[in-house]
Amino acid sequence: MSTPYDHKAIEAKWQDRWEKTRAAEVDLRQAHGKTYMLMMFPYPSGDRLHVGHGRNYILGDALYRFLRMNGKRALNPMGWDAFGLPAENAAIQRGVHPRDWTVANIKVMKEQFRRWGILYDWSKEIASCFPDYYRWNQWLFLRMLESGIAYKKMAPVNWCPSCRTVLANEQVVDGACERCGTPVVQRDLEQWFFRITDYADRLLAGLDALEGWPEKVKVMQRNWIGRSEGAEIRFEIPALKEPVTVFTTRPDTVHGATFLVLAPEHPLASRLIEGNPDREGIAAWTEQVRNTPRIQRSSEENPKEGRDTGALAVNPATGEEIPVWLANYVLPEYGSGAIMAVPAHDARDLAFARQEGLPVRLVYHLEEGETDPSGLTEPILHQGVIRGAPPFDGLADGPETIARFIAWIEENGWGRGKVVYRLRDWLISRQRYWGTPIPVVYCETDGMVPVPDDQLPIELPYDVEFTGREGNPLSRSRSFVETACPQCGGPARRETDTMDTFVDSSWYYLRFLSPRDAARMFDREIADRWMPVDQYIGGIEHAILHLLYARFICKVLHDFGMVGIEEPFQNLFNQGMITRFSEKSGRVEKMSKSRGNTVSPDELIDEMGADTERVYTLFIGPPEKDAEWSDEAVSGAYRFLTRVWRMLERLPEAPPTAPADADLERERHATIQRVTQSLQRFSFNTAVAALMELSNSLGRALEEKTASRLRCEEAFDTLLQLLHPLAPHVTEELWERRGYTESLLETSWPEYDETKLRRERIQL
C-alpha cells in the first residue's frame, strides 16, 4: 500500500516552515554573488488573483530558487503599489475607507503568494500608501520643484469623466482612459507637471545600451518619445508685423511651400482672422474643432477641414505671398502648431490642397545654368524653380541635404535647426484623495509656498467623506486644507491635488534597499552595491508607462547625486499573458475578471496543489509568449508529480547491480545540462519536458530492473533537486523522506560531467 500524494498537507507544512525560517531574508550590506530580482509592484485590488496573474510570480520564484541553489545571494522583495482609484471607488460604493480596504487586500494577496509557495523577502516589504513611504515622494517633489523639473501650468489636459480626474498622456490609450475605457475629453486646467521632455534625449540614448531589454519595448519607447529632427522656419505676416514659426522635417522643400496651415487653436489664429468677413463663422468652427474628441481629431479617417484666414505670409525662399489657413489636421501640441504646406511632397498637404483648390508646386533639382524644364507629368503640378538655394542632389534623400538647407536657412536668418519630440511633460496631479498629497500651500500674501522638509510628511487625513460627488474629497476636509503659511504664518490653503501613482512606482526598487530608513529616501551606499536591478519581470503593459517614468526618475536621482546609475533595470523580461476561452465574447482572450474567463488558483490548489499549478504554468509554453490555459492539460502536470511522488517507494525495488547503469547515469547528466541551460535562458517549458523524460526513464529502469539501486537513487535525488525551483513543496517533502536533513533549497545545484556525455555520444 503506497502513501498517497497528499499535496494539501505537504504544501501547508512547507509553506509554514519557509515562513518560520524566513528563508528569503538577505543582508543588504553583503553583496557578494548578488542578484537583485524584481517583480512588478502589484496593486492590491480587491479581486482575487487568478492563474493568469500567477505566471509572473511563479516564474520569478522558480528563477529565484534556481539562483539561490546556484550560490547567488538573490534579493527578491515584494511590496505594494497601494495608492490608486479602485480603493477610492470602493469607499464610495461600499462605504469602506480606502486605507482599510487596501490593508485588507494586502493581507489577502500575501496569503495567495504564500499558497503559491513563493519566497519573498518580507523583511523588505513596503506599501506606498503609508507616510513612511510617500513622504519621500513629497521630499523628491520638493527637490524637483527647486530644480525646475516640477512645475505648474495651465494647459489643455486629458480629463476622464468617469474617474473624475486628469490623466497623463501615457494613460490615454486610443483616446480613452487606460483604466476604465471612458473616452477622455480636453479641459483647460492648471496642473502639475514633471519636465520629462528635458530628459527625452537621454531617455532615448539610454535605450541603446539596454541590451537586456526586449527590442519590442525599446521600439515602443522610441516611438513614444518620437524624436524628429528638422528646422523651424519663420514666415513673415506683413499684416500682423509678426512671423508665424513652422516646424518641418523637410526644410529642403521650403520652395514648394504654397500655403501655411495653423492649428485652429494657434495663439495667432484670432488675430489672423480679424479682417475676415466671416470672422464669427470661423471662430465658431474653431470652437467645434477644439471640442472634437481626441481619438477622432487625430485619426487619419477624420475628414480634413480648413478655413482661409484671408491673411498672407511670405515664403522666405521664394519671396512669394502665400495664403494662411487654419485646419483641423494640424495639431496644436506638436511642433509649433503650424506647418508650411508642401503639397507636392506631403500626402496630407496634397490631399488638402486638392480639396481646397490650393496651388501645388514641385521642387526639383536644377543643375547650374539649367533652365526650368516644366512640362511635368502630373497636370496638377505647377512649375517649380529653385533660385538662390544651395546646390543639392536629389530631394530629401539624406540628412546631408537637409543639413545643408538648415545651414542655408540659418545663414539667411529665416530660422534654425530644431529637434521636436512627441513626448509631452508628465502630468502628475490628480483630483483624487487616495494618493500622495502634493506638498505646497497657497498663501494669500506669499502665493504658492513649498512645504519645508521638516514639516513632512503631509499626511492624508483619515477622516474624509466619500460621497461620490463631483470634486476631490480631500478638498472638503477642512482640517487638511486649512493651514498656516510656512513663510508668514498667515492663513493658507493646502494643495489638494495628489500625485499620480506612477510617481510611487518610479523609485520603489530603491526603497526596497532601505525600507525602514526614516532619515532619507534610500541609502546610496546600499544602492550602489545592489543597483541596477539585475532581472525585472513583468507584463508588456508597462512598456511606456511605468518603465519610462522609472527610467526618468532614476536619471533625476542620478542628477541629484543620489544614485550612481542612470538606468535602473538591466534585464527586462516580459512574460506573455494567459488566455482562455470566454463565454461572453465567444473568443479566446486575456484572462480577466471582466471577461469572466478566469481560473481561480484556490480551487486548483485545493484539487491538485500549488506545485501542479506551478509546473503547468511553466510548462504551458514559452514564457514570453501568450498561452492558452487548458483545464485538461493541467492534469498532465499533476500526473507527473504523482508519478514522481510514487517513485520514492519504488526505489527499494531496484537490484543491487544491473546492466544498464551507464544509460541512466548518462541521462542524469544530460538532464542536468538540459535543465540548467533551459533555466538560464528562461526556457521553463523545456526544463519541465527534460525532467519528465528523466522521470520516465527512471520509471522504466525501475520497472525493467535495468539500473542498480544506487544509480536509481542518484537519478531520483538529482530529479528532486532540478525540479525544486518548479515544484518546491513536493520535492522538499520527498527530499526529507529520502532521509536528508538539509533543506533541498539549501543544497547546491547539481553539476554535470561533459566527458560522460561525450563518451556516450561516441559509443552511440
Partner RNA sequence: GCGAAAGUGGCGGAACUGGUAUACGCGCUAGACUUAGGAUCUAGUCCCGAGAGAUCGGGUUGGGGGUUCGAGUCCCCCCUUUCGCACCA
Interface positions with RNA (CB under 7 A) = 173, 215-216, 219-220, 223-224, 226, 228, 230, 247-250, 263, 297-300, 302-304, 328-332, 334-335, 337, 339, 346, 348, 351, 420, 422, 544, 619-622, 625, 627-628, 630, 632-633, 635-640, 642-643, 674, 677, 683, 685-686, 688-689, 692-693, 696, 699, 703, 764
DSSP string, 644-684: HHHHHHHGGGS-SS-TTHHHHHHHHHHHHHHHHHHHHTT-H
C-alpha cell at 586: 465567444
DSSP 490: S
Rounded to the nearest whole angstrom, what is the least distance from the CB of residue 654 to RNA in the complex?
Answer: 16
DSSP 335: T
Rounded to the nearest whole angstrom, what is the least distance from the CB of residue 504 to RNA in the complex?
Answer: 23
Residue 110 or 222: the one with the smaller Cβ distance to RNA is 222
What single letter denotes the amino acid at residue 226? G
Rounded to the nearest whole angstrom, what is the least distance from the CB of residue 635 to RNA in the complex?
Answer: 6
Rounded to the nearest whole angstrom, what is the least distance from the CB of residue 274 to RNA in the complex?
Answer: 23
Pairing mode, strands 338-341 and 259-262: antiparallel
Residue 276 or 673: the one with the smaller Cβ distance to RNA is 673
Residue 194 or 619: the one with the smaller Cβ distance to RNA is 619
Question: What distance in Å separates the CA atoms of residue 347 and residue 356, rounded to the nearest whole number?
Answer: 14
C-alpha cell at 103: 490593508
The enclosing H or E element of 356 equals helix 347-356
Residue 208 or 215: the one with the smaller Cβ distance to RNA is 215
Chain centroid to CA 34: how far? 25
Residue 441 or 599: the one with the smaller Cβ distance to RNA is 599
Residue 746 or 754: the one with the smaller Cβ distance to RNA is 754
Whether the Cβ atoms of residue 242 and residue 266 lie closer than 8 Å to each other:
no
Residue corresponding to grid cell 474617474: 163
Rounded to the nearest whole angstrom, what is the least distance from the CB of residue 295 to RNA in the complex?
Answer: 9
Query: Cβ neighbours of residue 558 under 8 Å, at least 6 residues apart?
Result: 564, 565, 566
Query: Cβ neighbours of residue 721 under 8 Å, at least 6 residues apart?
Result: 69, 731, 744, 747, 749, 750
Rounded to the nearest whole angstrom, what is the least distance from the CB of residue 613 to RNA in the complex?
Answer: 14
Rounded to the nearest whole angstrom, what is the least distance from the CB of residue 642 to RNA in the complex?
Answer: 6
* Residue of 125, 104, 109 lying closest to 22 (CA atoms): 125
The enclosing H or E element of 493 equals strand 491-494
How crowded is the C-beta side of 712, counted as CA atoms within 13 Å? 29
Whether the Cβ atoms of residue 223 and residue 192 lie closer than 8 Å to each other:
no
Residue 267 or 490: the one with the smaller Cβ distance to RNA is 267
Q: Give Dmax (Cα) for the chain.
A: 107
Residue 25 or 305: the one with the smaller Cβ distance to RNA is 305
Residue 223 or 657: the one with the smaller Cβ distance to RNA is 223
Q: Give the Cβ contact number of residue 517 at 10 Å.
A: 14
Three-state DSSP state, 152? strand
Residue 299 or 600: the one with the smaller Cβ distance to RNA is 299
Q: Give the Cβ contact number of residue 630 at 10 Å.
A: 13
* Residue of 285, 570, 206, 248 lying closest to 405 (CA atoms): 248
Residue 133 or 619: the one with the smaller Cβ distance to RNA is 619
Residue 282 or 563: the one with the smaller Cβ distance to RNA is 282
Residue 686 or 747: the one with the smaller Cβ distance to RNA is 686
Pairing mode, strands 185-194 and 176-177: unpaired
Question: What separation, in Å, do the N-terminal and C-terminal C-alpha atoms of the chain show?
Answer: 40
Whether the Cβ atoms of residue 192 and residue 497 lie closer than 8 Å to each other:
yes
Rounded to the nearest whole angstrom, what is the least distance from the CB of residue 414 to RNA in the complex?
Answer: 15
Pairing mode, strands 242-248 and 228-237: antiparallel
Residue 550 or 644: the one with the smaller Cβ distance to RNA is 644
Rounded to the nearest whole angstrom, what is the least distance from the CB of residue 605 to RNA in the complex?
Answer: 17
Residue 421 or 530: the one with the smaller Cβ distance to RNA is 421
Whether the Cβ atoms of residue 262 and residue 256 lie closer than 8 Å to each other:
no
The enclosing H or E element of 230 equals strand 228-237
Residue 197 or 747: the one with the smaller Cβ distance to RNA is 197
Rounded to the nearest whole angstrom, what is the least distance from the CB of residue 247 to RNA in the complex?
Answer: 5
Rounded to the nearest whole angstrom, what is the least distance from the CB of residue 102 to RNA in the complex?
Answer: 29
Question: What distance in Å separates the CA atoms of residue 172 and residue 156, rounded to the nearest whole number?
Answer: 14
Rounded to the nearest whole angstrom, what is the least distance from the CB of residue 476 to RNA in the complex?
Answer: 37
Three-state DSSP state, 760? helix
SS (H, E, C) 444-455: CCCEEEECCHHH
Rounded to the nearest whole angstrom, what is the least distance from the CB of residue 557 to RNA in the complex?
Answer: 27
Rounded to the nearest whole angstrom, what is the least distance from the CB of residue 418 to RNA in the complex?
Answer: 10
Region of 226 please: left (phi>0), alpha (psi -120 to 50) or beta: left
Rounded to the nearest whole angstrom, what is the least distance from the CB of residue 627 to RNA in the complex?
Answer: 5
Rounded to the nearest whole angstrom, what is the least distance from the CB of residue 246 to RNA in the complex?
Answer: 7
Residue 438 or 679: the one with the smaller Cβ distance to RNA is 679
Sheet with 627-628, side-by-side order of all strands: 587-590, 578-582, 627-628
User: For the chain, give me the number of helices (H) and strands (E)?
Assistant: 25, 26
Q: Is the preceding peptide bond at 457 cis, omega within 30 degrees of 0?
A: yes
Q: What is the CA radius of gyration of the chain?
A: 32
Rounded to the nearest whole angstrom, what is the least distance from the CB of residue 623 to RNA in the complex?
Answer: 9
Three-state DSSP state, 258? coil
